[in-house]
A = this chain, B = another copy of it.
């Protein structure tokens, strides 16, 4: 039933360097138009995908991903229909399989389905039965490819390059799907070094480490906050996810937090990223530091998703 010609977005591995460059360029242009708040420009944008329909189906709560997809679609003129918590409110509570739900939704002639699900591999399962493109908006501990793309985009935007950099990922690396997807993408660039810094029980999983080894990425795995601050071009902080069952103490978590004291020791060019929401990993005093890019990063999400929608629907 699978239609190989459909342009699904399922996992970070599928993005080539050329593809990413094309999406980034489109995202640049879309940001310029939207930022201008010139409503004549915006009307032009709003005709690009006019009449197309996005179905946004979220089995897990998510403010930013859901909202940024909805607004991305609406700004391109799409009709958008969403579900805030399909797990609780849909026929999933009546025992329907994901495959059946997707098959039924396709019968309503959407043009694309955006799917967030709590089970790893859900997006791939959906794509197998879908007659329209599926965009994976995060599946369990699996992947979150649009997040990975916006992360790379943010690095490129702020540093001017993705080659020849040192990225330190900090926090919950075992459960955070964003760091997994990002690691996959970083491996496509030249001369990238990744430092994984986390409590031992939240260390990056072996599958990713082995993948990076095969791709000749220089990797360091440490259970402390990397002491050589000047090495770092990108600090990617993540939240210790209580809702995924972590039992790390506040004390232990603090060792991996970013404080103004640590930030002062960084190079001026280092950028600080976070997929958000944050808890105590980054103290609010850092927000006004020019190195802090996490809000910009979140905003990039909408523009990347606009560009991806255009590609998925064949108008890029």
Number of copies: 3
A34: chain B residues at CB < 8 Å are 109
Restricting to A1-49, which residues have a CB under 8 Å from any CB of B? 34-35, 37, 39, 42-43, 46
A86: chain B residues at CB < 8 Å are 63
A146, CB-defined interface residue at 8 Å: no
A269, CB-defined interface residue at 8 Å: no
Restricting to A258-316, which residues have a CB under 8 Å from any CB of B? 276-279, 284, 295-296, 298-299, 302
A78 to chain B, nearest CB (A): 9
Restricting to A57-80, which residues have a CB under 8 Å from any CB of B? 61-64, 67-68, 70-71, 74-75, 79-80
A91, B51: Cβ atoms closer than 8 Å = no
A89, B84: Cβ atoms closer than 8 Å = yes
B68, A108: Cβ atoms closer than 8 Å = yes
Q: Which listed residue (B92, B243, B298) contacts A104, Cβ 8 A?
A: B298
A61, B88: Cβ atoms closer than 8 Å = yes
B107, A90: Cβ atoms closer than 8 Å = no
A255 to chain B, nearest CB (A): 19
A227, CB-defined interface residue at 8 Å: no
| A42 to chain B: closest residue by CB | B51
The answer to whether A104 and B51 touch (CB under 8 A), given A75-B79, A90-B63, A91-B61, is no
A89: chain B residues at CB < 8 Å are 61, 63, 84-85
The answer to whether A105 and B67 touch (CB under 8 A), given A79-B75, A84-B84, is yes
Q: Which residues of A contact B (CB under 8 A)?
A: 34-35, 37, 39, 42-43, 46, 50-53, 55, 61-64, 67-68, 70-71, 74-75, 79-81, 83-86, 88-96, 99-101, 103-105, 107-111, 239, 241-243, 276-279, 284, 295-296, 298-299, 302
